Each structure stands twice: as C-alpha cells, then as structure tokens.
C-alpha cells in the first residue's frame, strides 16, 4: 500500500495540474481553495495528512514563478512551455519540497517525484524528472557553505559511532599490557607464508 504522504502528493498533483490546465485555458473563475477542498474530500478515507497536502499545493502555487525560474537553467534544451504539463507540475512539486520541506530527505523527494512521473507521465518522464531534480539537489548542495556540509560518521544500531578502521592491528604485549601496533604484512611476507 502506498504511504499516506505518497497519496497526499497524488492529490496535490491533481490539484496543481488542474490549476495549470485551467489557467492556460484562460479560466479566471478557478478557485484553488475550492478545488483543493474537493480533491481532498474525494480521498478523505485514505488520506489523513490534509495539512501536508494543503501546504504543498499552496506552497507550489505561491512560489510558482521562482520555481519556474529555477527550472529553466536546469533543463535548458527544454523551454518550460514545451515540457509536458504533468512533468512540469511534478518538477515544481519536487523543487518546492527540496527547498521548503526540510523534514523530507532530498532523496525521498526525488524518489517520490520519479514515482509520480512513472505513474502519470510519459515514457521518459521519470528519467527526465530524476535528472532535473538530481541537478537541482547538486546545485543546492554546492551553494551550501562548507560548515553546513558536515561529515557524519556512520552509526551503529546502538547509536555509537563507527570509527575508521586502519590496516594496522593492535594487540597488547604479554609483559607490559600496553598496546603495540603490528604493521600489515608485505606481499613478500604473505607469499612466503603461503608457500610454507
């Protein structure tokens, strides 16, 4: 079964797609709030995170111009007007989440956008979406100051940090109990041992 947020993204996609379609058709009577309410009501029994849907739809609508401005250089060979409407809406949603939803890991954002593209886009939509959002993420990471790019060592299941392993082995000497370092054997030493 799809996650609640995945279903929420589908509702948001339908709402934003309708907004884009009706706006392009010159429909001035479109009320985003009413359409959002209608679409949420359709899936009320399966979607319980209405706040997420509302924030996503309203956020994309509010920042649409800035999102489109960012999209243009990410896919320079594709003018925005020539990108399929569904792909354009999925890209806007993905960019919005990358920039304005810090609680959602970037790889999850991209994966969700790719899944939406597979379900609702054309044959090559998922690859296109993955490439554009991957570039957007790389650009975002490149703009971060070095101090924000912290290296986090891998953690074990118990929460303790994994220490880097060295090729030298440590063992205690029988007389002193102090640790001594044994260097790894050279290739010559290893081949002598195998020959014996």
Residue 127: Cβ within 10 Å count = 13
Tell me if 188 is assigned to some domain: no
Nearest to 109 by CA among 86, 79, 85, 133: 133
**pLDDT value at residue 25:** 86
Residue 152 domain flag: no
Assess if residue 15 is contained within a domain.
yes
- For the entire predicted model, the pTM comes to 0.72
Does residue 48 lie within any of the structural domains?
yes
Q: What are phi and psi of 149, to 5 degrees?
A: -90, 75
Question: Is 187 within a domain?
Answer: no
Sequential pLDDT tens for the chain (196 residues): 457 899 999 999 999 999 999 888 888 788 899 999 999 999 888 888 899 999 999 999 999 999 999 999 999 899 999 999 999 999 999 999 999 999 999 999 999 999 999 999 999 999 999 999 999 999 999 887 765 554 444 444 444 444 444 444 444 444 545 544 455 555 555 555 555 5
CA separation (Å) from 37 to 41, 51, 53? 6, 11, 10
Segment 52-72, tens digit of pLDDT: 999 999 999 999 999 999 999
Q: What is the CATH number of the domain that holds 120?
A: 1.10.940.10
Residues spanned by the domain of 37: 4-143
**Residues 37 and 14: beta-carbon distance below 8 Å:** no
- Residue 40: predicted pLDDT: 93
**Residue 150 token pair:** 């912290």
Is residue 181 a part of any domain in this protein?
Answer: no
Does any domain span residue 83?
Answer: yes
Q: How many domains does the chain have?
A: 1
pLDDT digits (tens, 9 = 90+) for 88-111: 999 999 999 999 999 999 999 999
Distance CA 109, CA 98 (A): 7
Residue 149 lies in a domain: no
């Amino acid at each position: 079964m799809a996650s609640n947020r995945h279903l929420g993204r589908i509702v948001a996609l339908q709402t934003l797609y309708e907004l884009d379609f009706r706006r392009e058709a010159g429909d001035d009577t479109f009320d985003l709030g009413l359409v959002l309410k209608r679409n949420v009501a359709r899936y009320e029994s399966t979607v319980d995170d209405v706040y997420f849907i509302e924030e996503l739809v309203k956020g994309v609508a509010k920042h649409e111009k800035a999102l489109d401005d960012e999209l243009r250089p990410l896919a320079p060979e594709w003018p925005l007007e020539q990108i399929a409407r569904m792909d354009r809406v999925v890209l806007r949603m993905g960019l919005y989440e990358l920039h304005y939803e810090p609680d959602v890991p970037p790889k999850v954002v991209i994966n969700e956008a790719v899944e939406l593209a597979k379900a609702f886009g054309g044959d090559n939509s998922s690859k296109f979406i993955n490439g554009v959002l991957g570039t957007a993420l790389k650009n975002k990471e490149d703009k971060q100051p070095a101090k924000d790019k912290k290296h986090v060592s891998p953690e074990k299941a118990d929460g303790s940090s994994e220490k880097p392993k060295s090729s030298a082995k440590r063992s205690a000497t029988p007389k002193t109990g102090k640790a001594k370092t044994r260097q790894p054997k050279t290739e010559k030493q290893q081949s002598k041992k195998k020959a014996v």
